[in-house]
Amino acid sequence: MFINTVLAEANTSEVVSTFSGTDIIGSFSINDIFTWAIGVGGMLALGIFIYAGILYIASAGNPSRQQDATEWIWAAVYGLLLLATGWIILNIINPAILK
């Protein structure tokens, strides 16, 4: 059992490099997908922040509209945290996956 574990650890880098470089959709690898998702998520979050800021400013003291704008902002923050957490988890598990 110990020998199998050692052999499994010796081949891990080859398996990860093969897996992370594998074309998933066309010519995209796992790293390309995460880079694309973080970029698109960041742009969407920026758009939501701008929209919610305008909504908050235009609310003219209406508490329900201010609360709606605040919920939009928190939804964008949660989305960015979700993307970042996914990247952090994969980086903690094995940094070679994201290279």
Q: What is the pLDDT of residue 55?
A: 95
pTM higher than the cut 0.75: no
The amino acid that residue 86 corresponds to is G
Q: Give 76-96 pLDDT, tens digit per residue.
A: 999 999 988 988 888 898 887
8 A C-beta contact, residue 73 and residue 49:
yes
Burial of 30-52, coded b for 16+ CB within 10 Å and e otherwise, reads: beeebeeeeeebeeebeebeeeb
Give residues with Cβ within 8 angstroms of 36, minimum separation 6. Answer: 28
- Paired with 25 in beta bridges are 28
Q: Give 23-66 pLDDT, tens digit per residue.
A: 555 666 777 888 888 899 999 999 999 999 999 999 988 999 99
Q: Angle CA(36)–CA(42)–CA(85) in degrees, nearest 5?
A: 80
Determine the structural domain holding residue 75 and report its residue range. 2-98
Q: For the chain, how many structural domains are there in total?
A: 1
